[in-house]
Copies of this chain bind each other. A is one copy, B any other.
Amino acid sequence: MPKIWSQTIEAHRDAVREATIDATAALVAAQGLTGVTMSQIAKDTGIGRATLYKYFPDVESILVAWHDRQITEHLRDLIQVRDRTTGAARRLEAVLAAYAKAISHRRGSHDELGDLLHRGARVSAAHRQLSDLVRELIVDAAAAGAITRDVPANELTLYCLHALGAAPGLRGPAAVGRLVRTTLAGLRADDRG
């Protein structure tokens, strides 16, 4: 197959994948998670049901792909924030603040879905990358003496990501800022009660 033709096919496949994810996102936003079927998704995407099954085996796999896409977008931004900030403590603060801000814009049932998925059996690769990014910053900040060393880094990572998960329920950037500072205060305190 000529290269130009295989590139065209590849681009077409990407477009179908993206359109499928978009259609599924719209369906879940409109009617919630339950009741979303492969037939409906195929219809809304404008492709045949048999074609859809060549891309995704079931609804859940589309939801996982959707969540991966969201997290991947966040990750790109967070890596930029990390790389332009100096100092272990300030890096951690800047990345957590950027993460909280990013997810605070996600509202509605289709976004909580992400939490459902990444906490289930199928932890997405993108979410693992997000956890790794935060954990590395926590390890560095602990080594620099900026946060507690009394709690394992993987536990503090879970704490951070969950605590900041409150952001979509808050009203306005000031409240999100207070959430970030409260979460950081939990990391910092040496007095573990």
Contacts and interface: CB of A to CB of B under 8 A. Distances in A.
Interface in A56-74: 58-60, 63
A105 interface: no
| Total copies of the chain | 2
B34 A36 contact: yes
B155 A162 contact: no
Contact of A162 (B163, B181, B184, B193): B163
Contacts of A179: 155, 158-159
Given A35-B59, A159-B163, A181 B192 contact: yes
Interface in A149-193: 150-152, 155-156, 158-159, 161-166, 168-170, 175, 178-179, 181-189, 191-193
Contacts of A150: 178
B120 A116 contact: no
Given A112-B120, A116-B112, A162-B162, A185 B189 contact: yes
A172 to B, nearest CB: 11
A58 B33 contact: no
26 contacts: A32-B120, A33-B34, A34-B34, A34-B36, A34-B59, A34-B60, A34-B63, A35-B59, A109-B120, A112-B119, A112-B120, A115-B116, A119-B168, A152-B175, A155-B179, A156-B182, A159-B163, A159-B166, A159-B182, A162-B165, A162-B166, A163-B166, A163-B186, A182-B192, A185-B185, A188-B191
